[in-house]
Every structure is written in C-alpha cells, then in structure tokens.
Amino acid sequence: MTAFGTQFSDQFITAEYRDGSWHKPELKPLAPMPMHPAAHVFHYASTCFEGFKAYRWADGSVHIFRLHDHVARMQKSAASLHLPVPDADLLAHMVLDVVAANRDDVPELPGALYLRPTLIGTLPNIGAAASPSTEAMLYVLTSPVGDYFAGGIRPLKILIDDVNARSTTQLGSTKTGGNYAAALGPTLAAKDEFGVDQVLFCPSSDVQETGAANFLVIGDDHVLTKPLDSTFLHGITRASTLALAHDLGYTVEERPFTVAELLDSIKTTDAALSGTAASLTPVGEMVYQGQTHVVNPGSEYGSVIKLRDALSAVHSGEREDTHGWLTQVD
C-alpha cells in the first residue's frame, strides 16, 4: 500500500452551505473542485477537519469507530471558527453514505478506510478578515490505509520544547489547519537540529501534546495525561485509551504535570503518542536541553502495547464494544 494519506477512493461526497442553509449532499467521482481565488479559506484559514476510521471485520461487515464523537468534535471545531455548523445528522449520513459507496475499498485488518470530513469557508471576499464565511463547503474523503506498523514498531524520538506553544487558547482544541502551520516551524527545526520525529509542546513546563498527537505516560496499572482544557486537541484515541484503562482496573490520572515530573516518571514508565492514524505509538527517547533521556530503559514498551492491543481488539470486534463506540455500515 502507498504512503498514508496519498491514496483515495473513487467517490467522495460534498454538501454546500448557501443562502443560510445546507443543500442536499452529492456523492460524486473524486475530482478537483473549482474554487473562487478569493475564497475565505485561502486567506483567513476558515477550515477544520476530522480523521477517523472504518474497519472491516473478519465476517466482512464494516464498522466506523466513534462516528458520533467525531461528528460532535467537528461541530465544535466549526463553531469555534464561526463557520456554518453542519447538522449532526447531515454529517453522520454523509459519512455513512460515502463509506457505503466505497465499501470495497475498506481493507482487511490491520488496514482501515481512513475518513476525512473537511469543512472550508468559500465566501469570495478578501475584505472578510474580521468577519466569518457565510458560505461553506463540507466534503468527506476516504482513503484506504495499510498497517501503520508494517515495518514493526519504531519507538519515536521526541524533543521537549518548554518555550513554544503549539496553538493558542482560542483554537487549541479546534482541529484546524492553522495549528499545524504553527507547529511546523518548531518541528522542522527540531528534526534538523536533534534528529527527532516530533516536538512535545510544554509551554511554561505544562506537558501538552505534539503537533498532531496527544501524549500519555503509561504504566502497567496506571495512566497519566493532561486534563481536558482549551490548549490541546481532545483526542478520541486518548479518551478511548483512558476508558479502556479504567475498564482494565488501571488508575487513570488526568491532571497537569511538569517536564520535571515527566522526566522522573519515564525512568521507570512507558510513554506514548496517541491518535487515530497510529493508535498508540511508544516514545523511545526524549531530548531536553540538549540531553537525551531514554524512556523506561530496557523495557520493550509492553505497557503501551497492552493498551494498544486492547484498543485494536475493539476495532476488530474481538473485544466486546461495551461503550457503544462502533456504528455498523449497511
């Protein structure tokens, strides 16, 4: 399979917001979309998206993971950008329809069909820097993805940055393009200077998240991560991991913690990044103030893998879906 995010299904689905209402969604062949060069999104970054997956079970049935939570998060993102907010039913049905249309593209496990709803402001007005886009386009792309860990698990190397913020308090929990633009510079500089994969943003020593993934400290019977606030993206993989850890009898701590506490805890405890694309990925090394700290030396990331396996078992239907996270596609 080709690199993550570069292969798309033949069909996508679009809906336009014009004259104060959403128009009927259209399923159509994937093709470039004509767009006015003055469209609000190109100038003032009125854009948000979602990312989640549909899985094919061994019996051939197809199941979407936490559809309604992703729809709700997209509504929250849209509202924070003052974009027209899609109705939950409209968006959920667009997702179900586009997955049904591209059903043959849902790969066998551990692959999945990655789903990418996207909302952009299309109002043609370059004078609208301080006003919202009253026209919008909503669409859902689907992309078959293979096993993220086909080459085996490669633990990540991460730079701890206790100066820069990834985003702002206004948009920290919004899944919007501008946040990735803000994280890109520090991330490229860190790759260049320290050979790391990602930057863990910890402004004023508050351990937050990386450019596109949440951060968790994971032990054999406890998990520690930052509590929900407006500075970071409220990951659904994070929430699912905490729920499963709770089910398994772990102590789940959601509280702020500092870089000093983090460096102390990783002496004997695993750490991981969490997100839909790569599930839970172990962190192997952390660089802070020019010094490299090995995470839980000698461990084989067993604590991370145990929770990752529990999550995968829900995706595949091998573990009972006690939280009602899966929606079957007809």
Ligand X SMILES: *Cc1c(COP(=O)(O)O)cnc(C)c1O
Closer by beta carbon to ligand X, 74 or else 123: 74
Give, as ranges, the residues between 257 and 286 that touch ligand X (CB under 6 A): 274-276
Q: Is 236 in the site for ligand X (CB under 6 A)?
A: yes
Helices (H) and strands (E) in the chain, counts: 7, 17
Report the residue from 48, 67, 182, 212 that binds ligand X according to the rule CB under 6 A: 212
Report the residue from 175, 226, 308, 315 that binds ligand X according to the rule CB under 6 A: 175
Closest approach of ligand X to the CB of residue 52, in Å? 7
| List of residues 6+ apart from 318 with CB closer than 8 A | none
Q: Is 172 in the site for ligand X (CB under 6 A)?
A: no
Applying CB under 6 A, the site for ligand X has a residue count of 14
Q: Which residues of 265-286 are buried (b: 16+ CB within 10 A; e: fewer)?
A: bbeebbbbbbbbbbbbbbbbbb
Report the residue from 46, 122, 214, 281 that binds ligand X according to the rule CB under 6 A: 214
Element holding 115 (H helix, E strand): strand 112-121
In 3D space, the residue among 135, 141, 119 whose CA is nearest the CA of residue 49 turns out to be 119
Element holding 137 (H helix, E strand): strand 136-145
Report the residue from 25, 51, 186, 219 that binds ligand X according to the rule CB under 6 A: 51
Q: Is 304 in the site for ligand X (CB under 6 A)?
A: no
Q: Is 198 in the site for ligand X (CB under 6 A)?
A: no
What count of Cα atoms within 13 Å lies in the side-chain half-sphere of residue 55?
Answer: 22
Please choose, out of 8-16, 116-124, 212-220, 245-253, the segment that lies near ligand X by the rule CB under 6 A: 212-220
Reading the block at residue 147, the tokens are 């096993």
Sign of the CA dihedral running 57, 63, 65, 66: negative
Q: Is 235 in the site for ligand X (CB under 6 A)?
A: yes
Closer by beta carbon to ligand X, 213 or else 314: 213
Q: Is 213 in the site for ligand X (CB under 6 A)?
A: yes
Q: Which residues bind ligand X (CB under 6 A)?
A: 51, 175, 209, 212-214, 233, 235-238, 274-276
